[in-house]
Every structure is written in structure tokens, then in C-alpha cells.
Chain A
Amino acid sequence: MLETKGLCKSFGALEVARDIDFRLERGARQALIGPNGAGKTTFVNLLTGVLAPSRGSVLLEGKDVTTLAQASRVKRGIARTFQINQLFRGLTVLENVCIAVSERLSVGGSMLRPAGARAAVIEEASRLIGMLKLGEDAGRRIVELPYGRQRLVEIAIALGLNPRALLLDEPAAGIPSAESHILLDAIATLPKDIAVLIIEHDMDLVFRFAERITVMVSGAIFAEGTPAQIAGNAEVRAVYLGNAA
């Protein structure tokens, strides 16, 4: 459903994405891994329209979305979380998620009706907050929350957009390992036709979650396969652990 063909991105002489052909199928549970600086976040930025590619194309359900702005891609069903939290820090958890739900329902620009009178928006935001076990924090401002809880708000916001392709950039970073199951439980409850791409360094989480893994090195796809194939790939181990592996 989400596909790239020959995707390239350069900043001057520096090539950060090199001829990437990538497919994320409908309902996929896929992981994108690679060493630091491999270009994973840049790739997500190219998929979501934060960056424009130097060459190549991005297709969503067969339609070329390469030239579409970020907001238009979100409306077509591509949602993301950020590696570093990007939240409305002075607002409550509930307000954060309400903003996302309002935009998805195209009522974010409504000037006449109070935001508080939109029961459907508040109900849906509350449901997502409950799903991520954030119910007790719903009335707290983001600045008052521990970092790990903020990561869960990031995911609640992305889910509020009711995506068809959900791109999670290091979602477990900062979440205590005892709470990472909340994240996996939330993903497990998503409709099966939503494609989820997770970029993660926590290999335990990656191998528990992913049905397919893509390895990226130096801005290019290095290997792709099932978790078993990737785990058994000596070259991938060498890239990750050095020649000593």
C-alpha cells in the first residue's frame, strides 16, 4: 500500500537516501532497523512529506503522493510519531489527542462551536487515551508527565488520525521496558488492515512485533526478510556488531 521507487535524497554532496525501493503492504507489521545515521528518520521524513526527495517517487495505494504536502498525506492516511517527542507541551493529554481527532474529522477549523461541545471528539480521544493506559493522566499537562508517558501520548495522537499506514519512529525510546507491552498491546488492537512500520533499536521489541524486517545502512536498503532470515544473516550481524560478531 505504501511504496517508494528509486527514492533519493541529497543535501549537497551528501547522499542520505540512495535509490530506495520499499514496500509496506496493507496490514503489515514491519520493522526498519539500522545503525545510527543509517538514514531511517530521513526515510520517514521522505515518506511523510517533511522532506522532498531529490529523485524517485512515493506511492500510497498506487497513487503518486510525492509532490503532496505533509498535511495532504496525513489526510490520505499516513501518520507518524517522532523520534523526539513533538507534543503540545502546555496542553493536557486529552487536549493533545482531541486536536488530532478534530483534524481527522475536519472540524479543526470550526469557529462557531466550542471544542468542548464536540462530544464525539472527546469520546474518541478518551477511548484512545484509555487504550494506552493514560486515563489517569488525561487532565495533566504534557510538561507534568514523565518522558515515557509522553511517548504514549505521541502514539495516541497518531492513532487519533485513524491512519492506514502508521510510522512509529523509535516509539519505545524512553518507555520503561516493563511498560513496553502497553505499546505492543495498543498495536495489537489496531484494525488488521492498518500497516505499521516501526523504527526501533530495541531488538527484543522488534523481534516480538515484526513479521518482516528491513535493514538500512548508509541511506540504502541493506537486507530485507523475515525475523528469522534477518537474525541468521551474518552480514547484518556484522553491520550491527562489527566484525567481531
Chain B
Amino acid sequence: MNAATELARRHRWRWWEALPWIAALAAFFVFPTYLAFGTQVLITILFALSLDLVLGYAGIVTLGHAAFFGAGAYTVGMLAAHWGWNEPISGLVAAAFVAGAIGLASGLVLLRTHGLALLMLTLCTMALLEQAANMGAAWTGGFDGMPGLSFSRILGLFSFDVLYFRSQYLYTLAVLFLCFVLVRMLVYSSFGQSLTGVRENLLRMHAVGAPVRTRQVLAYTVSAALAGVAGALFTQSNTYVNLAVLGLERSAGVMIVLILGGYGRLYGAFVGAIAYMVLEHSLAKAYPTAWQLGLGLTLVLVALYARNGVIGILVSLRRRFAGTAR
């Protein structure tokens, strides 16, 4: 197949892309007692997917992505607690809007910088929001957060299942699928191609006349909105929100997920989230006091021997076998 034909077909859906969704649906029936954990995995996948858009595709290094996750989480929490706005889907839209607006405002300022300055400023943005949430106790619940939130039925039909998370799982899966379709459309579009150009060579993108900063700010805003949706799903499914949604731990955690799975590869978020959370879950169960050691060692191995993550290993293997076959 020549390069032009390959490029023209690249955006088409491939058969194996159905597998993660079939597996996620199958998990609903096979692991009915693990659906609370499954819901958290799906939320982490969405959060990692939002980070992949800026880190993996646009090459924007950030340590403050939890700012948007937290903004979305607190938006639905505050709407439900103070205004009785507990309709879930419109809550997601509001969370996306608020997180996107914060992404746009901060992006316009932060994306004038790059490298270490950008890294520090993203961290500062998140710390500012965290402190705001901590100090605005009358609205946010402060250190204790907002427990015991209630949300109305999804589409007026399915109530949130506090015990077994059945509705939450399917609801989160549906939202993840819609967001994935959006991200997939973006990364295969001309816009996505130009983002990859920004990541690969900023100087050249300027030299081809691209409005580089506008593209970066747009990507940052969309990514922030998606992270906000992930945060909103967290609050809705767990019926609480507290400061943990805004911390450095969450920002660093989602970056580790992406590095583990492979960034800039769409499905890296899926593989990374599952690998990270299953590893964390199993290690914490087996070695309650030293589980982070195992996670740390895994990361060291990935950083040393698999810089493109698990998906990168699979791609290398495919290339090697394809080469052998020729």
C-alpha cells in the first residue's frame, strides 16, 4: 500500500478497535462485584485520554491536569449541594464548560511559556485551585469536602446504584465512548495533525505559518473540558468530592498511567489505566505497607526499557514481525 493510500485510510475504524469496548461490556457481566472498581478505571481512562491530547499529541508538558479534573468534580458537587441541580447529564455539560473555561483562561497565559516554566506554572494553577477549594469551605466543604451528595436518575430512568455501581458503570462507559469518539476525531483531523507537528517541531510549525499558540490553547481547552467531565463522573459515581481530586498525586498519577500505557497513541490511556489500577489494587492487597515500592520498580523498568509504554512495545513487536515476514 502506498503512503498516500495509507494516509487516506488511517482514520478509518479498524476491527480490533471494537475489542476494548466489547471487553468493557463483558466485564459488566463477568465481574459484577467489581463494578465500583471498574467505574474508577473508566474514569481514569477518560482523565488519561484528556491528558494524552495535550501531552501526547500537542507535546504540552503539564503537572497540573488535576486542576481541571477537580474543577469538574467540584462543579457538579456544588451544583448539587447548593442549587439542587442534580441532573447528571446537564451536570457533565456544566462541568465541561467550567473546566474548559479555566483551561482557556489559564492556557492563554501559561502557554506563552514552555519547558520547566510551563511545568511549574501548571503546578501553580492546580495549587491555587486546591487552596481556593480548601479556603472556600462555605461552598466547597473545605478540607472535609462534600459527602453524601445525591443525583437524580440518569435520563430519568436509571438511578445511581450505591451498592453495586451497575448504573454508574454503564453510564461512565457510555460517556467515555462519546468522549473517545470526539478525541479520535480530533487526533485524526487536520487539527490533530497540526498538533503532532507542534509536538515534533515548534520552530517548523511557525515556519509553515501555523497559528501555533491558538492551536495549543484550543487543544488545552478541549482537554481541560474532558478532564472536567472525568472529574464530574467521579463525583457523581462516588456521591462525594474532596480535596483529593485536586492534588499533585492525582496529576502525577494520571501522567504515570499515560507513560505506562504509551502517550500519543489513543489506546495508551486504556492500557495504562488498567495496568496501573490493577497493579495498584493487587499490590496494595498483597503488600499493604510496601505496595508503592512495586509500582515504583515497574515505572523504573518502563522508563528504562519501554519509553513508549506497553503500546509502544506492541508496535515495535508488530514492526519487527512485519519486517521478518518481508
Q: Do A and B bind each other?
A: yes
Q: Does B307 contact A (CB under 8 A)?
A: no
Chain B interface category by residue count = 35 or more
A122 / chain B contacts, CB cutoff of 8 Å: 4, 7-8
Residues of A participating in the B interface, judged by any CB pair closer than 8 Å: 48, 50, 70-72, 74-75, 79-80, 82, 86-95, 98-100, 102-104, 107-119, 121-123, 126, 138-139, 157, 160-161
Known: A71-B206, A117-B11, A139-B2. A109 touches B200 (CB 8 A): no
Decide if B189 touches A103 in the complex (CB within 8 Å): no
B185 / chain A contacts, CB cutoff of 8 Å: 111-112, 114
Known: A87-B201, A161-B209. A108 touches B191 (CB 8 A): yes
Decide if A103 touches B186 in the complex (CB within 8 Å): no
In the bound assembly, the distance between CA atoms of A93 and B189 in angstroms comes to 18
Q: Which partner residue on chain B sits nearest A119 by CB separation? A: B8
Decide if A103 touches B8 in the complex (CB within 8 Å): no
A136 to chain B, nearest CB (A): 10
9 other contacts beyond A100-B208, A104-B208, A118-B190, with CB at 8 A cut-off? A71-B206, A79-B207, A108-B190, A108-B215, A109-B218, A110-B190, A114-B10, A114-B11, A161-B209
B4 / chain A contacts, CB cutoff of 8 Å: 94, 122-123, 126, 138
In the bound assembly, the distance between CA atoms of A140 and B186 in angstroms comes to 24
In the bound assembly, the distance between CA atoms of A95 and B208 in angstroms comes to 13
Known: A48-B207, A161-B209. A108 touches B194 (CB 8 A): yes
A95 to chain B, nearest CB (A): 7
Decide if A110 touches B191 in the complex (CB within 8 Å): yes
In the bound assembly, the distance between CA atoms of A20 and B208 in angstroms comes to 26
Interface centre among A90, A94, A109, A115 (most CB of B within 10 A): A115
A108 / chain B contacts, CB cutoff of 8 Å: 190-191, 193-194, 210, 215
Q: Which partner residue on chain A sits nearest B211 by CB separation? A: A71
B103 to chain A, nearest CB (A): 16
- 28 CB < 8 A contacts A-B: A48-B207, A70-B209, A82-B203, A82-B204, A86-B207, A87-B204, A89-B200, A89-B201, A90-B196, A91-B197, A91-B200, A98-B7, A98-B193, A103-B194, A103-B208, A103-B210, A108-B193, A109-B214, A110-B190, A111-B190, A114-B185, A116-B10, A118-B190, A123-B4, A138-B2, A139-B6, A157-B208, A160-B208
